């Protein structure tokens, strides 16, 4: 689960909501709870840290009033709307904007806790995906022009013999380049390489001066 998570409460929630949020926050290391005025929703400026955002929609002028804020924050944070008017119509309007969940008042503590748990799990998955993609991108960028060529062919399922023939090098040299690519990308074999990079579609540069 994500550590350093921030819970944002916009508007004056009753003690039951505060209790549930603080209970959820206690499950994480270094979690924080910030209570902000609904006036802050009038600015689309995202919070400094992504987190779980709870908005009391009844203390605003409605969904249209916070639309810009939701669009600006919905991708990096998980937004939960709470309202007496929470129904299917509101959900259909809110979800396409980036809202994670809509809950009706009076808030059921168990339902709210479940919603927060799902939101924090989604944040954890988002962070994991971001870290892996950034790490993999950096690893690919570290490959030499020749290694990039081998990398692209390995993704296509080429054998060492085919690589040797294509690049006009010995099987031993082809095997050495393959090993370097796998080592730099921290992949055990071609299966893992395809699993992690199989959707990569790049035109790899060829350096005429690069030696075999």
pLDDT tens for each residue of 137-176? 788 888 898 898 899 889 878 899 989 998 899 999 999 9
**What tokens were used for 176?**
């050495």
Contact 37, 64 (CB under 8 A): no
pTM comes to: 0.60
Fold of 142-197: Arc Repressor Mutant, subunit A (1.10.10)
Q: Please return the burial class of 184, using the count of CB atoms within 10 Å of its CB with bins 0-12, 13-18 and 19+.
A: middle
> Measured between alpha carbons, how far is 115 from 113 in angstroms, rounded to an integer?
5
Whether domain 6-135 has CATH 3.40.720.10: the reply is: no
Instruction: List phi, psi (to 5°) of 102.
Output: -125, 130
% of the chain with per-residue pLDDT over 70? 85
What are the sequence ranges of the domains in the chain?
Answer: 6-135, 142-197
Render pLDDT for 37-75 as a digit per residue (tens, 0 to 9). 888 888 767 665 778 999 999 988 889 999 999 988 888
Per-residue pLDDT band for 1 (boundaries 50, 70, 90) equals very low
Asked if omega into 157 is within 30° of 0 (cis), the reply is: no
């Amino acid at each position: 689960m994500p550590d350093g998570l921030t819970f944002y409460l916009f508007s004056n929630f009753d003690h039951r909501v505060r209790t549930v949020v603080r209970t959820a926050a206690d499950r994480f290391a270094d979690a924080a709870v910030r209570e902000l005025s609904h006036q802050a929703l009038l600015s689309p400026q995202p919070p400094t840290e992504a987190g779980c955002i709870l908005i009391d929609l009844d203390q605003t002028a409605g969904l249209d009033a916070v639309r810009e804020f939701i669009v600006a924050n919905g991708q990096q944070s998980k937004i939960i709307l709470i309202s007496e008017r929470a129904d299917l119509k509101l959900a259909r309007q809110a979800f396409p904007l980036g809202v994670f969940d809509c809950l009706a008042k009076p808030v059921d503590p168990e339902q709210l806790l479940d919603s927060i748990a799902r939101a924090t799990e989604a944040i954890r998955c988002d962070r994991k995906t971001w870290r892996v993609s950034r790490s993999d991108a950096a690893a690919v960028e570290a490959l030499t022009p020749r290694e990039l060529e081998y990398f692209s062919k390995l993704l296509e399922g080429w054998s060492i013999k085919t690589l040797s023939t294509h690049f006009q090098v010995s099987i031993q040299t082809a095997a050495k380049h393959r090993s370097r690519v796998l080592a730099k990308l921290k992949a055990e074999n071609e299966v893992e390489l395809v699993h992690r990079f199989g959707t990569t579609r790049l035109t790899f540069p060829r350096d005429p001066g690069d030696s075999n």
